[in-house]
């Protein structure tokens, strides 16, 4: 056996030069993946469930509000679908994505060859490095405070995940000397921290990446949930914004080396539909699509129809955004009253990124919340940058959010 080292962990991999004993079963060979973080919350969930007022689960950002009628009606109408759907997606859905990107994200110049539907966006976060041909020895960069699947996706391809401060100028990044940077993940608005990258910030990263020969992929699934200015009025900028991409010789946006992921889970409560898409550089989209064809990664036809309908309806998105705004304001006021501090740069997204007294670690905070019957996620789940923080989602009902707020107003567990 030999030790293999990655950022912040050690693992053991089998020496492939040593043949197994005759008759010994070879599989399964365990992949070098971290423990699934949410499994470690079980004792805290159990403690929270003992609260006489019932549990308030604000740990996982899973929607609880109804799926909009426009999506449900369209899904039902399209439910007679005996044939296989195409991996590339229907022309109707791709046109709906193109139109939505123009209307809501300020991104023009996309053709049908620039978009492909995916089975949720987490699938793409986990599999994009493999689909693009990232190899062992490559470096995959991701934000310091990040959804764990960026790290996992790099490991599935045998690459090395490297956390970097994507809020900073890329010239300041401290990178390993060995291995080329092949893929850079951005997440704006960020999960868990709610940070938003400006056009100028992304333009610097894109210029750096193109010089290094790297692809930039941006996970933008919280883009419709902007709370603070200038983003609430102006909108959260996309990686494919023409101010970021620049233009080619023909005057069209230069999409080379750029991909955006988007999900309808949050804006349209379609998490159970697994409804998402990729958009950007047609050469990269084609590479992903070819793998999806071979692997049979097909978005069901009724879901594709529901996606197209949901993308064309903005009223339900406005309603859902206001619902989350209301819950956010209630939780912000209550956590502040309890002595907790939200990250001042947390301007968008589905979460509060809270710190407490210096004496309390992330798990100390999780334990204190559990005493109140509230489940939150420790910041350590999201990398070293999450030390001493917890992530609180806005995804429980109004009644449960009000219950959490009342408990926070009445506690002194978070006092210095």
- pLDDT 10s digits, 107-159: 999 999 999 999 999 999 999 999 999 999 999 999 999 999 999 999 999 99
Q: Are both 40 and 130 inside the same structural domain?
A: no
Task: Give residues with Cβ within 8 angstroms of 21, minimum separation 6.
Answer: none
Q: How confident is the model at residue 78 (pLDDT cuts 50, 70, 90)?
A: very high
pLDDT band at 19 (very low <50, low <70, confident <90, very high): low
CA 383 to chain centre: 14
Whether residue 328 sits in one domain with residue 293? no
Residues 298 and 328 in one domain: no
11 pLDDT exceeds 90? Answer: no
Q: What is the pLDDT of residues 207-219, one digit of tens each?
A: 999 999 999 999 9
| Same domain, yes or no: 304 and 337 | no
Q: Are residues 126 and 259 in the same domain?
A: yes
Give dist(CA 179, CA 333) in Å, integer: 46
Last residue of one domain, picked from the residues 282, 312, 342:
312
CA distance 129 to 161: 11
**Residue 334: domain span:** 35-66+316-409
Partners of residue 393 on adjacent β-strands: 351
Contact 155, 32 (CB under 8 A): yes
Residue 130 lies in a domain: yes
Among candidate residues 312, 330, 347, the one where a domain is terminated: 312
DSSP-assigned beta bridge partners for residue 118: 276
Whether 115 is covered by a domain: the verdict is: yes
Residues 190 and 324 in one domain: no
Range scoring the smallest mean pLDDT among 13-22, 45-54, 254-263, 322-331:
13-22
Distance CA 45, CA 373 (A): 8
State whether 305 and 326 are in the same domain: no
| pLDDT for position 18 | 66
Among 261, 294, 312, the domain-final residue is 312
Residue 39 has a pLDDT of: 82
In this structure, is residue 395 part of a structural domain? yes
Residue 29 lies in a domain: no
CB 1 within 8 A of CB 15: yes
Residues 214 and 349 in one domain: no
The answer to the question of residue 106 being in a domain is yes
Mode of pairing for the β-strands spanning 160-164 and 56-57: unpaired
pLDDT tens-place string over residues 397-406: 999 999 999 9
pLDDT tens digits for range 316-373? 999 999 999 999 999 999 999 999 999 999 999 999 999 999 999 999 999 999 999 9
The two tokens of residue 248 are 């080619």
Predicted pLDDT of residue 17: 53
265: which 2 tokens? 């889970």
**E strand or H helix that includes residue 391:** strand 389-393
H-helix segments, 226-361: 231-234, 242-245, 265-268, 282-295, 301-311, 315-338
pLDDT at 72 (0 to 100):
97
Mean pLDDT of the chain: 92
Distances (CA, A) of 170 to 60, 160, 205, 346, 360: 31, 18, 6, 21, 32
In a domain, 341, yes or no: yes
237 and 183 together in one domain: yes
State whether 325 and 241 are in the same domain.
no
**Strands 389-393, 351-355: parallel, antiparallel or unpaired by DSSP?**
antiparallel
Q: Are residues 346 and 291 in the same domain?
A: no
- Take residue 112 and report the two structure tokens written for it: 């049908």
What percentage of the chain carries pLDDT values higher than 90? 86
Which of 36-50, 248-262, 286-300 ranks highest by mean pLDDT? 286-300
Q: Give a yes or no: residue 308 inside a domain.
A: yes
pLDDT exceeds cutoff 50 at 63: yes
265: in domain: yes
- Per the confidence metrics, is the pTM higher than 0.75? yes
Cβ-based neighbours of 82, under 8 Å, separated by 6 or more: none
Nearest Cα neighbor of 209 from 141, 281, 152, 283 is 141
> How confident is the model over 268-277, as a mean pLDDT?
97
Half-sphere exposure of 92 (CA within 13 A, CB side): 14
For residue 326, what is the domain's CATH number? 3.90.1150.10
To the nearest whole percent, how much of the chain has pLDDT over 70? 95
Q: What average pLDDT score do residues 161-166 get? A: 96
Alpha-carbon distances, residue 120 vs 81, 263, 307, 378 (angstroms): 20, 6, 11, 24
**How many domains does the structure of the chain reveal?**
2
Predicted pLDDT at 112: 97
CA distance 263 to 350: 13
Identify the pLDDT of residue 10: 38
Query: Is residue 236 domain-shared with residue 326, that is, in the same domain?
Result: no
> Residue 105 belongs to a domain with what CATH number?
3.40.640.10
């Amino acid at each position: 056996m030999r030790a293999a080292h990655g950022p912040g962990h050690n693992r053991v991999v089998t020496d492939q030069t040593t043949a197994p004993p005759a008759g010994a079963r070879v599989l399964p060979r365990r992949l070098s993946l971290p423990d699934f973080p949410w499994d470690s919350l079980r004792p805290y969930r159990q403690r929270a469930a003992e609260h006489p007022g019932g549990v308030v689960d604000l740990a996982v950002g899973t929607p609880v509000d109804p799926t909009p009628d426009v999506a449900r009606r369209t899904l039902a109408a399209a439910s007679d679908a005996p044939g296989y759907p195409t991996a590339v997606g229907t022309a109707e859905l791709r046109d709906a994505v193109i139109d939505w990107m123009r209307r809501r994200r300020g991104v023009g110049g996309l053709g049908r060859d620039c978009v492909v539907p995916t089975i949720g966006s987490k699938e793409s976060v986990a599999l994009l490095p493999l689909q693009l041909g990232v190899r062992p020895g490559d470096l995959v960069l991701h934000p310091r405070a990040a959804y764990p699947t960026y790290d996992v996706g790099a490991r599935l391809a045998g690459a090395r995940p490297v956390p970097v401060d994507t809020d900073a100028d890329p010239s300041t990044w401290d990178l390993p000397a060995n291995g080329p940077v092949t893929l850079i993940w951005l997440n704006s608005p960020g999960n868990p921290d709610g940070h938003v990258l400006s056009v100028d910030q992304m333009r610097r990263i894109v210029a750096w990446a193109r010089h290094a020969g790297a692809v930039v992929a941006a996970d933008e699934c919280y883009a419709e949930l902007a709370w603070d200015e200038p983003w609430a009025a102006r909108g959260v900028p996309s990686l494919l914004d023409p101010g970021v991409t620049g233009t080619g010789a023909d005057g069209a946006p230069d999409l080379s080396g750029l991909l955006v992921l988007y999900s309808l889970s949050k804006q349209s409560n379609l998490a159970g539909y697994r409804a998402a898409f990729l958009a950007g550089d047609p050469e990269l989209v084609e590479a992903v699509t070819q793998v999806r064809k071979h692997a049979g990664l097909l978005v069901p036809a009724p879901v594709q129809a529901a996606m197209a309908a949901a993308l064309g309806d903005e009223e339900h998105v406005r309603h859902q955004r206001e619902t989350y705004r209301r819950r956010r304001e209630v939780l912000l006021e209550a956590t502040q009253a309890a002595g907790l501090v939200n990250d001042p740069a947390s301007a968008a997204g589905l979460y509060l990124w809270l710190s407490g007294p210096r004496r309390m670690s992330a798990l100390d905070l999780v334990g204190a919340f559990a005493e109140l019957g509230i489940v939150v996620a420790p910041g350590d789940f999201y990398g070293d940058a999450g030390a001493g923080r917890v992530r609180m989602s806005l995804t429980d009902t109004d009644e449960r959010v009000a219950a959490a707020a009342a408990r926070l107003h009445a506690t002194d567990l978070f006092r210095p």
